[in-house]
Amino acid sequence: MAIEIIPKKIKQGFQVKEILFYVTLLIFIGVLIGYFVLISSTRKAEAEKQRLEDEIAKIKVSDTEKELLGIQKKIQDIDPLLQNHVFSSKTFSFLEGKTHPKVFFTQFSLDSKIPKLVVSGQTDSFLELGQQILILAGDSFIQTLGLSRIEISKDGKVEFSLDIYLNPKIFRF
């Protein structure tokens, strides 16, 4: 055996610097892997979010379309009813616009099926009654006009009844 003159250093396991280096290297690699995993997850989540938003938009459009179709069906169901409905209330506004200022009506009867309007009223003179008849006779919604009753009341007023046959168009919507 030979004696060595230069003493060799005895290896002592890992030093603190080496341990810190490897720990730091592992942490760095872990951070890099985590970064790429997070980016990938974020992209997947955004794609899923966009897909869900598109699906929600389709559902909303579909619901809106269903609602509009329901409303359209209701309108289509009501339309024939309105076309055939008789608006007898229109005779009030019609008669109001065609009444002489010195004539007032005391009774009102309407048969919308014929269509016949019977009105009884009162005025001060025959002249005003004649003017009222002329006003009514000149209207296109009146087909026939007849004076069915005429009397002079106890207080000198002219009482009368008119039979007015109306054009059925007056009752339409």
Give the pair of three-digit tokens for residue 163. 């039979």
Task: Give the CA distances from residue 136 to residues 17, 140, 145, in Å, rounded to whole numbers and listed in that order.
Answer: 117, 9, 8
Strand order in the sheet with 158-166: 104-111, 116-123, 158-166, 142-152
Choose the weakest-confidence range: 33-42, 109-118, 126-135: 109-118
> For 6-35, what is each residue's pLDDT tens digit?
666 666 666 788 889 999 999 999 999 999
Tell me which residue has tokens 């000198």. Answer: 156
> For 56-84, what is each residue's pLDDT tens digit?
888 777 777 888 888 888 888 887 776 66
Evaluate whether 160 touches 150 at the Cβ level (below 8 Å): yes
Beta carbons within 8 Å of 114's beta carbon, 6+ residues apart: 165
**The model's pTM:** 0.51
Number of Cβ atoms within 10 Å of the Cβ of 159:
15
Considering only CA atoms, which of 143, 149, 153 is closest in space to residue 162? 149
Domain 90-171, architecture per CATH: 2-Layer Sandwich (3.30)
